[in-house]
Structure 1
Amino acid sequence: MSVVARSLVRLYPDAFRERWGSMVEDEARGAGWKSWPNLTAGIVDMWLHPALWPADSPTQRHRRVATMGITVALAAWFLSHLAAEQASPQPTDGVRNGVMHGCTTLLLLGIALVAPRPRPTPSAALTLLGWALRRLAVPTVLGAAVVVLVHGGVDADASPPTLRTAVLAAWWIALGLGAIQIPRIFTGIGADAVVPPGTGRLRVGVWTLAAASATGGATILGVSITGDSFQLLGAGIGVGLLLLTGVCAGTLRDLRDLPLAS
């Protein structure tokens, strides 16, 4: 099997490779380079449907869907925040801001619904604290440094362009790292520290996230297209939020088709 095919197989989720990895490798070895497109499509499909991964129990599936929901919520928040920072003033800003505030509220509600519940024990609290410190230390320090610089007497308008660019880049890097690392906390933490939500709460939470992504995406896309000038970045963000809605819709279908116990 070629190096490319072997690398692609490694991109499948661990649970998938443990169950079917050898079979996929055999098929890739027989098909050669012609297997690369199918492998790529399979990787994307599997990561978009964590509820379908091989699992030892319904609880394990719940944990995976909960992590996916948190990832979608944070990605939607990041994109919405980016759109708000880059948007040009429009006559309908009041209406748009009201809609986006409503979407933010829905995202927070969705996270609260899908997030695993910490067990009420000292050991669970210490475990959560340890994971949070390991995963969030870098983005927290980086973001705090930017806040100190901005509010510590540094005049952004009078600063050299290089410094302004560096501060802005550091801020967005901190936000992006935080959005990436938070889901990793829930993938790494064990069942002895958190309890995943049941099927009913997962469904309501994912529906809430879908509503937030769809509303926010449609609003940002509409403003970007119908405003005084076409905004390519805003349109791309709107499309990205609508794609996240599709991810939620696929997860809801998986939850409906699989007999996940509450």
Structure 2
Amino acid sequence: MSIVVRSLVRLYPDAFRERWGAMVEDEARGTGWKSWPNLVVGIVDMWLHPAVWPADSPAQRQRRVATMGITVALAAWFLGHLAAEQAGPLPAEAVREAVMHGCTVLLLLGIALVAPLPRPTPGAAITLLSWAVRRLAGPTALGTVVVVLVHGGIDADASPPTLRTAVLAAWWIALGLGAIQIPRIFTGVGADAVVPPGPGRLRAGVWTLAGASATGGATLLGGSVTGAGLHPLGAGIGVGLLLLTAVCAGTLRDLRGLPSA
């Protein structure tokens, strides 16, 4: 049981473990297996609220919230891109495209507001470039292979179904890995390379991301359940976007505790 408890505690953010990890682990061992569900809930809750993690300065918290905002934006973009590939069960094509394009614009604006700004120094540029290459080399290479195959070597009609499925899966894997790795760039670089956005810009950015997720989620969910029949994938994407809206709402609540300057 102690191995399970130790493994669960390791899933907490580093800042939490450094401050309270030993205490949480001792209490969980004393309670036994009954503590495992509470540990899992606590892990999810802490990762969804980076603004409340122990921090050495408000700027450190702001950088964490900025990373959370970028993660939410990329997750919403990924879901929106997946929805754009679906046809028929969602709202009418023109309406769907207009709404999703508007949501994409809001997502880009939200990213611009929450993204940390690079410091205007050669060292900062080198650090960011090295982290970008390290994190994005794999997804970029995989996506490039897919593009080359589709545009240069694969006949969609003549290729075996297995090959077409593999290429399609590789494309989505590349997109998913890219969406995962981009936030990790900002968690890896330090304060000497980027300047986190202030509380005001963070709030504006998270509000923008919440609006994009809520609009896209409501549109997709409504179109998927009110059409000729239920479309599970479209409904699932809509629910996922609404869950991201809830994450933004929780982040906005946490930001109220940050200093205004």
Q: TM-score, normalised by structure 1?
A: 0.97
Contact map agreement 1:51 1:254 (CA 8 A) in 2: yes
Moved more, 119-128 or 172-181: 119-128
SS, match of residue 70 in structure 2: helix
Partner of 1:123: 123
Partner of 1:54: 54
- Does residue 214 of the first structure (1) align with residue 214 of the second (2)? yes
SS, match of residue 228 in structure 2: coil
Partner of 1:109: 109
Moved more, 86-95 or 204-213: 86-95
Q: For 2:47 and 2:231, locate their aligned partners in 1 and report how far apart those are by CA, in whole Å.
A: 31
Moved more, 82-91 or 2-11: 82-91
Partner of 2:38: 38
SS, match of residue 86 in structure 1: coil
SS, match of residue 88 in structure 2: coil
Contact map agreement 1:124 1:192 (CA 8 A) in 2: yes
Shift of 1:197: 0.3
Alignment of 1:149-160 (within 5 A): 149-160=149-160
Q: Tell me: CA distance 1:136–1:91, structure 2 relative to 1, closer, same or farther (3 Å).
A: closer
Q: For 2:87 and 2:12, locate their aligned partners in 1 and report how far apart those are by CA, in whole Å.
A: 37
Shift of 1:259: 3.2
Shift of 1:224: 0.7
Partner of 1:189: 189
- Does residue 77 of the first structure (1) align with residue 77 of the second (2)? yes
* 1:4 counterpart letter in structure 2: V
Partner of 1:205: 205
Alignment of 1:164-179 (within 5 A): 164-179=164-179
Contact map agreement 2:218 2:238 (CA 8 A) in 1: yes
Shift of 1:260: 2.7
Deviating 4+ runs (over 4 angstroms): none
* 1:149 counterpart letter in structure 2: L
Q: For 2:20 and 2:205, locate their aligned partners in 1 and report how far apart those are by CA, in whole Å.
A: 31
Contact map agreement 2:89 2:227 (CA 8 A) in 1: no
Q: Tell me: CA distance 1:91–1:253, structure 2 relative to 1, closer, same or farther (3 Å).
A: closer
Partner of 1:143: 143
Shift of 1:91: 6.9
* 1:87 counterpart letter in structure 2: A
Shift of 1:229: 2.3
The alignment-based identity, stated in percent, is 82
* 2:247 counterpart letter in structure 1: V
* 1:259 counterpart letter in structure 2: L
Partner of 1:93: 93
Partner of 1:246: 246
Contact map agreement 2:91 2:223 (CA 8 A) in 1: no
Q: For 1:91 and 1:173, locate their aligned partners in 2 and report how far apart those are by CA, in whole Å.
A: 27
Partner of 1:132: 132
Q: For 1:92 and 1:10, locate their aligned partners in 2 and report how far apart those are by CA, in whole Å.
A: 47
* 1:260 counterpart letter in structure 2: P
Shift of 1:125: 0.8
Q: Tell me: CA distance 1:225–1:89, structure 2 relative to 1, closer, same or farther (3 Å).
A: closer
What is the aligned length?
261
Q: TM-score, normalised by structure 2?
A: 0.97
Partner of 2:259: 260
Partner of 2:236: 236
Contact map agreement 2:8 2:40 (CA 8 A) in 1: yes
Q: What is the root-mean-square deviation of aligned Cα atoms in Å?
A: 1.1
* 2:10 counterpart letter in structure 1: R
